[in-house]
Amino acid sequence: MSSAVPRRNSCRGSLSGRFEVAGATRQRSASEGAPRWRRGSEDPAPARLKQPILAITLRFLLAIDLWLSRRLGVCACEGSPWGGVRPLVRLVELSGHGVPWFVGTAYGLLRGDTATEQEVMLNLAFALLLDLLLVRLVKTIVRRRRPPQNRSDIFSAFFAERYSFPSGHATRAAMCARFLLAQLGDTASMRALVLGWAAVVSLSRLLLARHFVTDVGFGLAMGYCQYSLVERLWVTWERVQELPVVLLGERLDKI
């Protein structure tokens, strides 16, 4: 009878030992099968989410740009909600086109009475040429197509480019607005007239569905900065008059 007790205790001890070994094995296998990122102190999840969050944000902003541009294109054609005022909006668009500005600047340069007027017209021509080159460069790099609801007219199809970003009308309007306010006087009435014209010209690009909202916004910022470059590179009339003499002197020296 006395020998049964140790056997029972030994069975209990062996069973408890087996359970402890099995539990330790399960814990070890669970720890080995757990994801590695739980073991470390650093969590790589935020690093994985950086690129998707940036992509989602850009897509969201692009969707807002497309939606707002589509809603503002109310004069895209005669059948649009504001199709009746399309000729008037096209007239506003023409006032910001480069051809009338180049023609008017050339006329003012040739018909200027004083050297100061000719100097202003000369730098305006330089500013318009600079604007044309920079806008063409950015459009060639970006290559963004125009809105799908854009309807090309005879005048716009002949002179306009197929790329949309940035808006050349917006850059020209912002640059010419700063130029006119700096050279003709920054009075209250002049400021209201010039800034109102620049705003209406930029808005006409959206109403006619010529550009997206981001095209016009970037164009305004680009044109505003372009005048600062023109102001730094300002050409005086004395330098223009001295240029033929300098060129003639260099040719004589070579002979």
Every domain of the chain and the residues it spans: 85-245
Its pTM stands at 0.71
Set 164, 177, 211, 226: catalytic member: 211
pLDDT at 236: 84
pLDDT, tens only, 219-247: 999 999 999 999 998 988 777 766 554 44
pLDDT, tens only, 148-179: 887 766 555 445 567 889 999 999 999 999 99
* Active site annotation includes 97: no
What residues have CB less than 8 Å from 127, skipping those under 6 apart?
A: 175, 176, 179, 226, 227, 230
96 by Cβ neighbours in 10 Å (0-12 / 13-18 / 19+) ranks as buried
For residue 250, pLDDT over 60 is answered with: no
Set 86, 139, 169, 210: catalytic member: 169
What confidence tier does 88 reach under pLDDT thresholds 50, 70, 90? very high
pLDDT, tens only, 186-205: 788 999 999 999 999 999 99
166 by Cβ neighbours in 10 Å (0-12 / 13-18 / 19+) ranks as buried
